[in-house]
Copies of this chain bind each other. A is one copy, B any other.
């Protein structure tokens, strides 16, 4: 059981503004600005251990610990605390209610100093940019010049992206979870219908309901009900509710049902009305909907030109509100813009909201990215066996080369090759999240992905070498992978087992069975090696596809094999082959 940060309280900062107030991006002005915030942990003497947490649509400043007389922890207590993902023994953590909110920061329900009444319909239009500017003003107010990191999920992730490009020299690490550079059409559609529900509630009264004694409760509850459908994956909906019915005794209203999912939606709709303001909902969703980095900068690549921070983009597999493709788009654009970026896709059945839960590996990925610690021992047993290949691969590389390692494992090779003076870091790609986290622990940039889906995220000629070690035979389309390798890099280094080694030939010829050996250790029925080839086959394919083999390094585990290699019969002698290839 992890410790909590304990008792905390929300503070309100009255921000010093210029005489003409805070100018907003869409032209509006605010003459007064309050920001509600909480902090956890201590600012160190060098004032360089601050982490800003950005909250999502309906969140607030209370992200961890407990308020007095409450047993309900902050909304991300799972992540923040002593020894947790964001370790308050080490970091000074700040979270502030966003501009336009209703939890202490200036918003539509705040008192307009010019009139003495709530802003209501007079509250100006805000943007994600304004929200982040206000966070920046708060940090100035707190005397914090630079952030060790900024992190957030969903709408909070959009704020993280905005931080990375708006204040590039003030943040060192960004973690953007379950988010996007803009909402897609379906997510927009849900927001549009949600707002429509509020706007068509007669009690909304054009936004000026604060002094009417009533609230657009029906409309706001409706909007929240729609939201709640989108926060859960269909699988989660099914396992959580299915078609179960409640056995409540009270009679049903006409056209209501006893389905538990209906009680859940009703409960959450009503509860939201008690804790959230309809105008805040309208303003914040409007800011979210109009956020669009591509539109603003012409392209996502352009958007990220200024970024200096190391970026970690995390997607959730069953998130359909901010689907993983959108996170991958952000990560890919950062890569194309030449930035230090890692991407991982966490497997979770829970849907969008899962970023609030302690789902597998989320805490670990965040913690490892913030405080890299290399893995103590090889993550998988194969890593040890690949040590010999690593030494051979290193010999084939030119110094200072930029490397892309496909199937990079826990990142051992890239770590050995790391050069802090290089203008651009190496990149590893691996399908296995455990490997990805281990590689993050080495401080590497890594993408989680299946190279069978291609290398679409990598621009042409963006690396000097691409490495494919013991992987050619396990991919579904080896020919495509070879082509892709020589698209993204000037040269490639490939290590693969040679099916026509003396041992294999004799095995097949005399035992009449498929070869099983140190190099090909699996039985035919469960081998991952699905496209076996000989050195000659490989040479034929290279000839056919316009690939030059610059160097071949053959390895055999037996003396006879080594003798054949020596007398110029590598296709007979080699158990394993290493080739350096380039385009003809």
Chain A residues close to B by CB (< 8 Å): 121, 182-186, 188-190, 192-193, 195-202, 206-207, 218, 222, 225-226, 229, 234, 237-238, 240-243, 253-257, 259, 261-262, 265, 282, 286, 289-290, 292, 295, 320, 323, 477-479, 499-500, 504-505, 508-509, 511-514, 523-527, 530-537, 540-541, 571-572
Contacts and interface: CB of A to CB of B under 8 A. Distances in A.
Give me the 9 closest cross-chain CB pairs, A-B, nearest first.
A530-B530, A185-B237, A500-B512, A200-B218, A479-B525, A512-B571, A524-B533, A186-B234, A185-B241
A178 to B, nearest CB: 16
A23 to B, nearest CB: 21
A209 B130 CA distance: 46
Contacts of A571: 512
Contacts of A253: 199
Contacts of A265: 189, 192-193
Nearest to A472: B525
B189 A243 contact: no
Contact of A192 (B242, B262, B514): B262
Contacts of A237: 184-186, 189
A184 B121 CA distance: 40
A240 B540 contact: no
Given A185-B261, A226-B226, A525-B533, A508 B500 contact: yes
B186 A229 contact: yes
Contacts of A526: 477, 479
B537 A524 contact: yes
Given A478-B525, A525-B537, 18 more contacts: A184-B237, A185-B242, A185-B243, A186-B229, A186-B234, A188-B259, A189-B225, A189-B261, A190-B229, A193-B222, A197-B222, A199-B253, A257-B289, A477-B525, A479-B525, A500-B508, A508-B509, A512-B536
A238 B196 contact: no
A199 B261 contact: no
Given A257-B290, A514-B534, A196 B225 contact: yes
Contacts of A193: 222, 225-226, 229, 265
B509 A234 contact: no
A75 to B, nearest CB: 23
A300 to B, nearest CB: 13
Most B CB atoms within 10 A — which of A189, A218, A523, A537?
Answer: A189
A182 B243 contact: yes
A486 to B, nearest CB: 15
A554 B298 CA distance: 65
Counting every copy of the chain, the complex holds 2
B238 A572 contact: no
A200 B185 contact: no
A537 B512 CA distance: 8
Contact of A540 (B201, B206, B513, B535): B513
Nearest to A500: B512
A472 B201 CA distance: 62
A531 B537 contact: no
Given A505-B508, A514-B532, A240 B185 contact: yes
24 contacts: A121-B254, A183-B243, A184-B243, A185-B242, A186-B238, A188-B259, A188-B261, A189-B225, A189-B229, A192-B257, A193-B225, A195-B255, A196-B225, A197-B197, A199-B253, A199-B254, A222-B222, A234-B323, A257-B289, A500-B513, A508-B508, A513-B536, A514-B534, A530-B530
Contacts of A531: 524-525, 527, 530
Contact of A199 (B195, B255, B505, B511): B255
A298 to B, nearest CB: 14
A240 B188 CA distance: 13
Contacts of A197: 197, 222
Contacts of A282: 255
A201 B185 CA distance: 27
A526 B544 CA distance: 14
Given A254-B207, A320-B234, A531-B527, A537 B514 contact: yes
Contacts of A207: 254
Given A479-B525, A512-B571, A531-B525, A200 B186 contact: no
Given A185-B241, A199-B255, A513 B537 contact: yes
Nearest to A233: B186
